[in-house]
Chains A and B, each alone.
Chain A
Amino acid sequence: MASKPVYSLHRNPMLKKRDDFEDVLEERRSSSDLRYALRCYTPVLYKGMTPSKASMLKSMVLQSDQLHFVMKQVSTETGKAVDDIQEEASAILEEMAHRLQLSTIRFFAYTLTKVFKNLFRSICVNEEGIQRLQQAIQEHPVVLLPSHRSYMDFLLMSYILYTYDLALPVIAAGMDFMGMKVVGEMLRMSGAFFIRRSFGGDKLYWAVFSEYVKTILKNGFAPLEFFLEGTRSRTAKSLTPKLGLLNIVMDPFFKGEVFDVNLVPVSISYERILEESLYARELLGVPKPKESTSGLFKARKVLSEDYGSIHIYFGQPVSVRSLSQGKIDRCQFNLIPRHIPKKPTEEIQGFVNDSAYRLVRAQEENMVLKPWVLLASLLLQNHHQSQASGQRPGLTRDELTQQAAWLRDLSRQYGAFLHWPDHASPSEVVSSSLSLHRGLVKMSEGRIQLAVEQGGQVNPGEPRTAVTPEEELLNRAVVILSCASYRNQALHVFLRPALLASALHAASSNHKQEVFNSFSFLRNMFSNEFILCPGATVQDFEEACFLLMKTGELQVTEHEVLVTERGQRTLGFLTNMLDPFLQGYQVVCRFLCEEASEALTEKQFIPDVRKFIIKHLLAGRLRYSEVLSSDLQKNALAALLRLGAVQKMKGAQQGTLKVNKVMVNSLEDTLGGKLPTQKAAVARL
């Protein structure tokens, strides 16, 4: 059970201090947008630097020792002349580099204001966070790490920084944006630089890229911005952090090239996500449309609806120096010239990984939750329960209000950053939430329920053609998945207690060790699904026990974990919350045992497992249609690969998956509570 403390526990989540918000749109609604876009903009830079020209930045990168070393190396390996390689490097840089221009920012400041005022009720920012950021930018190179839920994120970030007269960030963006010609260039001129999605073996590309980022960072030309999650989360759950860029930005500190680097987690929460049903369809297998300018214009329909408010929380800057104190011995870089690229040691990789998880958790903690998130959780559970028991679906307004109030109190005790308007009565709060999300709910015979029954997504104007059962199932799933994405926003609040609740449910006795084993098994199983810091099983277990004990739902003695009378309701709710995931992973296991052919490829996995799940859903053997989410399926496969139950084949059968059916089968049984989690089993995993 011993493990290193990785994450500092907030012993009492109720005590978490958070800043207040200010609405930046308020002023925009009462004054001239044009004047705002043309106003005097004089941000302070790191140590009073003057901003560098993009061309100067490029030549600094091309002349760097690092790049020269790699160019020579590549030249020796390939036999190409150094000059040719220099050309290549220059071309890579050309393709990558940003061309930040204030005029473009002003253009966006003007047009975005118009758009935002139309779409959103408010855009709220914690101004204390802005002040902390301003201070940090002057003292140290700063890296902004926003959560990624929407295309809007990075324009929004630059918009906010412009509004507060802060230095505009340079943003790492995926190459897919480049497909949109005009927009791609516009984004480039507003500070985006473009990275290829994969360049694993390309030494030269890696060298140009990392040197470009480091040069910006070390000289403090601009705050750097990138998304730890790597891509937009389609499920509203935080994604497992990617480490490449984080590694690059920490490197100059490790090598003593800067005194410190400040990492600023930023949490952007949308009351209603613009891409709501788009994401759901994508997860269900309608392939992602290639980003194109014309596609964006088609999205204009989206632009005429009400999307509620956005909350942007700039978190406490995290100093890499204090984060690494006592963990990284910087002397290790003393014996090799610093321009020679070196693979990070295990020690450093471990540290970067831990830090990445901490940062993502910091993002999660400061995500604002709206009442709708709680309602969505309740309505989803109600939907599935009524389906299973054959009762009438839905809740009366009073029932829903009463349950929402209960869940509100519970989530606050767990430390959720819940924005529940205290001045309004609970029933008003419920009504206003429902009206904003009226596409997802309906009233039928006085009961509020999810809008699933009439194939919710068929447009009224279109002729009602006969739909196959499969199409109807998928149409329902769109609503369920959209709804689940709101529930997912609250998952991080309930995750640890929910894992414990499920562990108690699955464990064969109340013996503490047994419960811990079961908890540890589930936590391990789901560590690709949720943000669970590696190696922090004991802390997570303790945190879960603490929260449930504090609220009187659990009694934990030296050897036993007991559920109290009043704990039943909460534990039931928590178990139900995780149940779709438990079921989902079991179905994936069953698929691999029963259906997977010898020649199953990684590519074929998702379509095949989807077919299998649809079959089960239609036969009524499975009630959670959210299991259709390809995100869940991918995560389950990743977990099985990590545990060694499935292996990727190399060589001739490249890309095929080899399934260890005995192991997969036993995992499925353990997930289903049919097999006890033995200590040995856990140790083996």
Chain B
Amino acid sequence: MKWNGWGYSDTRFLFNKKGQAEFTGKRYRLSGLIIPGLKDWMEGTFGASVQHKSQATPILNSSSVQPPNLNEAFVEELKSTGVPYSHDAEDRVFRAHDCHDDVVKIVELACKHNVCLIPYGGGTSVSSALECPPEETRSIVSLDTSQMNRILWIDEKNLTAHVEAGIVGQDLERLLNESGYCTGHEPDSMEFSSLGGWVATRASGMKKNIYGNIEDLVVHMKMVTPRGVIEKSCQGPRMSTGPDIHHFILGSEGTLGVVTEVTMKIRPMPEYQKYGSVVFPNFEQGVACLREIAKQRCAPASVRLMDNEQFKFGHALKPQVSSIFTSFVDGLKKFYITKFKGFDPNRLCVATLLFEGNRDRVLQHEKQVYDIAAKFGGLAAGEDNGQRGYMLTFVIAYLRDLGMDYYVIGESFETSVPWDRVLDMCRNVKARIVHECKERGVQFPPLSTCRVTQTYDAGACVYFYFAFNYRGLSDPVHVYEQVEHAAREEILASGGSLSHHHGVGKLRKAWMRETISNVGMGMLQSVKDYVDPANIFGNRNLL
């Protein structure tokens, strides 16, 4: 794993000696391949140049990091419990090894010695939730849950599994698959993010249309708080026992305690999976089609609609074709869509689809969806394009790191919005990003693009990517933050929510009060005051 970038150390984008883009490693479908279009796309989109490189800080050495602020009494007593810990520069974490009971011990000790605890799962947060609050003067303990990664039991009668909360998404799926099951919860970060993190942020998976979001999947959970352990007494599928206490835990972002064990729903592995894609003449038609699919409640496991910029980006990431035949077929397809069907390459957009389940039903379902798409001018564009679309979500973070090597910084953010405002919000937010970049002296036009990634009965989840070339700016990070702030303001003004699944963290705290009202803030605050009066879980997220 990289300490200063996304993902595995062996996997990265780079420009090889010939100046061609290459994706290293063996882990992804794209790994080891040459991507001929990427260089031109980067130069064309950002005005970035392979000549202008800005290297990342290669190794972290302890001298460049401030010495730890240790609470000696706490450390001494911790030693006696046998819980391993480290305060090396790269770690600075405690590993609550084995189990729930270890966590209980640590939390008790932390309360006794007034030490600040910050739970740490996969470390994939994008809301500054894991940053240590600068105003914190106590010793801070990062409580790493990564060693609590076992499936404790599987209940095939009720189709549930009881799992330790430190388990990482891909391990959970792999282990369940071995028994013929899956959870179906697949957030884009699932390679690295943990079950406890999903619960703490109200995560959403791409196949939520079949399996549901995290709040639909959890049947039971345990959280260790300074007041003690909170859990329900039974595993009934639904209860009317006052407000659901699970909803205090879901989305609490580590401010109330540590989630240690979760019982979640499992499903038999799907018999059949099929990718697909549809090309629409423009984004408006695409959104109308998604809306219709949601209305008829026939959304496939996943459906995502990329705008034109993102379509072009996906195109740039096509690997070198291996045979003349494939390139000939690609050429034909392009001709058919742009010339024969009259689609404008600068307006068309693509939806990627994933169907899952019983083979016959998948095929029937597929037909239904393509029929709806046809009504909105959509043309089926093949399985391959669909599959590549999903693969891109896993490699995009690596690409962000490549950009940073060449003076391009970027990030993504999400929101949810009612159907009638999807188009207006997408347009306004993209325009605001361009506008703000210009205002703040960014020399090159930024990449400002979005996709609709989830459909609901009453609205959709929209994901934005935003990146710009920062050559010529004295404080690019500050500019970046200002633009992101403005973009969020625009989202809220256009009827979007503060967050669909990334959470609030510290990044979006400023908008909480207007989002949930004064009384809402008071309710959350009073829960915090009761559960954690000494602010042991002091990451200062959310409130």
User: What residues of chain A have their CB less than 8 Å away from a CB belonging to chain B?
Assistant: 255-257, 259-260, 329-331, 333-334, 337-338
Q: Which residue of A lies closest to B493 (CB)?
A: A330
Alpha-carbon distance A410/B74, docked complex (angstroms): 80
Partner of B420, one of A329, A331, A338: A338
Task: Write 5 A-B pairs (CB below 8 A) sorted by A numbering.
Answer: A256-B428, A259-B427, A330-B493, A331-B493, A337-B420
Measured CB to CB, the closest approach of chain A to B163, in angstroms, equals 38
| Partner of A259 from B428, B495, B514 at Cβ < 8 Å | B428
CB-CB under 8 A from A260, the residues of chain B are: 431
Q: Check: B26 CB closer than 8 A to any chain A CB.
A: no
Q: Smallest CB-CB separation from A339: which chain B residue?
A: B420
Contact between A259 and B425, CB atoms less than 8 A apart = no
Report A-chain residues with C-beta under 8 Å of the C-beta of B431. Answer: 259-260
Q: Mark B391-421, 1 if CB is under 8 A from A, else 0.
A: 0000000000000000000000000000011
CB distance from A167 to the nearest CB of B (A): 20
B30 interface contact, C-beta 8 A: no
Chain B residues with CB below 8 A from A331, complex form = 492-493, 495, 514
Residues 485 to 511 of chain B near chain A (Cβ within 8 Å): 492-495
Chain B interface (Cβ < 8 Å from any Cβ of A)? 420-421, 424-425, 427-428, 431-432, 435, 492-495, 514
Assess the A256–B514 pair: CB atoms within 8 A.
no
Cα A337 to Cα B424 in complex, Å, equals 13
B495 and A256 contacting across the interface, CB-CB below 8 Å: yes
Contact A330 to B494, CB < 8 A, known contacts A259-B427, A259-B428, A259-B431: yes
Complex contact A256–B494 (CB within 8 A): yes
Q: Which residues of A contact B494 (CB under 8 A)?
A: 256, 330
B432 pairs with A256, CB closer than 8 A: no
- Do the beta carbons of A334 and B495 come within 8 Å of each other? yes
> B514 to chain A: which residues have CB within 8 Å?
331
| A259 and B420 in contact, given A331-B514, A333-B495 (Cβ under 8 angstroms) | no
Closest to B432 in A: A259
Name which residue of chain B comes closest to A329, CB basis: B493
* Closest Cβ–Cβ distance, residue A254 to chain B (whole Å): 9
Q: Are B424 and A257 in contact (CB under 8 A)?
A: yes
Q: How far is the CA of A338 from the CA of B425 in the complex (A)?
A: 13
Q: How far is the CA of A259 from the CA of B421 in the complex (A)?
A: 13
Q: A337-B420, A338-B420 are in contact. Are A256 and B492 (CB under 8 A)?
A: no
| Whole-angstrom CA separation of A96 from B425 in the bound complex | 32
A636 CA to B420 CA in the complex, in Å? Answer: 49
Task: Output the least CB separation between A32 and chain B (Å).
Answer: 39
Residues of A contacting B425 in the complex (Cβ-Cβ under 8 angstroms): 256
| A184–chain B nearest beta-carbon distance, Å | 37
Overall SS of chain B's interface: helix
In the bound assembly, the distance between CA atoms of A259 and B427 in angstroms comes to 7
A256, A257, A260, A337 — which one has the most chain B CB atoms within 10 A of its CB? A256
**Whose C-beta in chain B lies nearest to the C-beta of A335?**
B495
Which B residues touch A256, using CB under 8 A? 421, 424-425, 428, 493-495
A541 to B365, CA, bound (A): 73
Q: CB-nearest residue of chain B relative to A332?
A: B493
**Closest residue of chain A to B492, judged by CB?**
A331
A259 to B493, CA, bound (A): 11
In whole angstroms, how far apart are the Cα atoms of A337 and B432 in the complex?
A: 23
B346 to chain A: closest residue by CB: A48
Considering the chains assembled together, what is the distance between the CA atoms of A356 and B431 in angstroms? 26
CA distance A330 to B432 in the complex (A): 15
CB-CB under 8 A from A333, the residues of chain B are 495
Identify the closest chain B residue to A328 (Cβ). Answer: B493
**Shortest Cβ gap from B511 to chain A (Å):** 10
Residue numbers in A under 8 Å from B435 (CB-CB): 259
> Which B-chain residue is minimally distant from A330 (CB atoms)?
B493
The smallest C-beta distance from B428 to any residue of chain A, in angstroms, reads 5
- Whole-angstrom distance from the CB of B363 to the nearest CB of chain A? 37
Q: Which residues of the other chain, B, contact A330 by a CB distance below 8 angstroms?
A: 493-494
Which residues of chain B have C-beta atoms less than 8 A from A257's C-beta?
424
Q: How far is the CA of A97 from the CA of B431 in the complex (A)?
A: 31
B514 CB to nearest A CB, Å: 7
Give bound CA distance, A605 to B524, whole Å: 64
Residues of B within 8 A of A338 (CB): 420-421
> Closest CB of chain A to B312's CB: distance in Å?
18
Q: Which 7 A-B pairs have the closest CB atoms?
A: A330-B493, A256-B494, A259-B431, A334-B495, A256-B424, A259-B428, A257-B424
B-side contacts of A255, CB under 8 Å: 424
Complex contacts, B495 vs chain A, CB 8 Å? 256, 331, 333-334
- Chain B nearest CB: distance from A218 CB in Å? 10
Alpha-carbon gap, A256 to B493, bound state (A): 7
> How far, in angstroms, from A87 to B494 measured CA to CA in the complex?
34
| A334 partner residues in chain B, CB cutoff 8 A | 495
In the assembled complex, the Cα of A220 lies from the Cα of B2 at a distance in Å of 49
In chain A, what residue has the closest Cβ to B424?
A: A256
A257 vs B420: C-alpha distance in the bound complex, in angstroms?
Answer: 10
Central interface residue in A329, A331, A333, A338, by most chain B CB within 10 Å: A331
Docked Cα-Cα span, A337 to B421, in Å, equals 10
Q: Shortest CB–CB separation between residue A327 and chain B, in angstroms?
A: 13
Residues of A within 8 A of B432 (CB): 259
Docked pose: A260 CA to B431 CA in angstroms: 10
A65 to chain B, nearest CB (A): 8
Complex CA–CA separation, A338 to B492 (angstroms): 15
Q: What CA separation (Å) do A343 and B308 show in the bound complex?
A: 38
Q: Which residues of B contact A329 (CB under 8 A)?
A: 493
The interface residues of chain A lying within 8 Å CB-to-CB of B420 are 337-338
Docked CA distance A447–B428 (Å): 65
CB distance from A644 to the nearest CB of B (A): 39
Whole-angstrom CA separation of A255 from B428 in the bound complex: 11
Q: How far is the CB of A243 from chain B (nearest CB, A)?
A: 23
Nearest-neighbour CB distance to chain B for A266, whole angstroms, equals 25
Q: Using CB atoms, name the residue of chain A closest to B430.
A: A259
Please, how many angstroms separate the alpha-carbon atoms of A132 and B420 in the complex?
Answer: 33
A337 to B514 CA separation, bound complex (whole angstroms): 20
Q: Which residue of A lies closest to B429 (CB)?
A: A259
Residues of A within 8 A of B427 (CB): 259
Q: Closest approach, in angstroms, between the C-beta of B471 and any C-beta of chain A?
A: 25
Closest chain A CB from B179 CB (angstroms): 46
* Bound-state Cα–Cα, A256 to B495, Å: 8
In the assembly, what is the distance between CA of A330 and CA of B490, in Å?
Answer: 9
Given contacts A259-B432, A259-B435, 16 further A-B contacts (CB under 8 A): A255-B424, A256-B421, A256-B424, A256-B425, A256-B428, A256-B493, A256-B494, A329-B493, A330-B493, A330-B494, A331-B492, A331-B493, A331-B514, A333-B495, A334-B495, A338-B420
Q: How far is the CA of A450 from the CA of B200 in the complex (A)?
A: 85
Q: How far is the CA of A338 from the CA of B421 in the complex (A)?
A: 9
Rounded to whole angstroms, the CA-CA distance of A430 and B15 in the bound complex is 76
Q: Which residues of B contact A337 (CB under 8 A)?
A: 420
Distance (Å) between the CB of B377 and the closest chain A CB?
18
A260 to B428, CA, bound (A): 9
Closest to B425 in A: A256
Chain B minimum-CB-distance residue to A140: B431
User: How many Å from the CB of A348 to the closest CB on chain B?
Assistant: 14
B423: nearest chain-A partner, CB-CB: A257
Identity of the chain A residue whose Cβ is nearest the Cβ of B496 in the assembled complex: A334
- For A259, what are the chain B residues with a Cβ–Cβ distance below 8 Å? 427-428, 431-432, 435
Q: In the complex, how many angstroms separate the beta carbon of A331 from the nearest chain B beta carbon?
A: 6
Interface centre among A257, A329, A334 (most CB of B within 10 A): A334
Interface centre among B421, B425, B492 (most CB of A within 10 A): B421
- Name which of B427, B493, B514 has the most chain A CB atoms within 10 A of its CB: B493
Q: Tell me the bound Cα distance from A380 to B3 in angstroms.
A: 83
Give A257 to B427 CA distance when docked, in angstroms: 9
Point out the residues of chain A lying under 8 angstroms from B424, CB to CB. Answer: 255-257
Q: Within the assembled complex, what's the spacing in Å between the Cα atoms of A256 and B435? A: 16
| Nearest neighbor of B515 in chain A, beta-carbon distance | A331
Q: Which of B428, B435, B514 has the most CB of A within 10 A?
A: B428
Q: Tell me how far the C-beta of B487 lies from the nearest C-beta in chain A, rounded to whole angstroms.
A: 13
Q: Within the assembled complex, what's the spacing in Å between the Cα atoms of A331 and B421?
A: 13
In the bound complex, what is the Cα–Cα distance between A415 and B435 (angstroms)?
A: 33
Report the minimum CB–CB distance from A260 to chain B (whole Å).
Answer: 8
User: A260–B434 Cα gap in the complex (Å)?
Assistant: 13
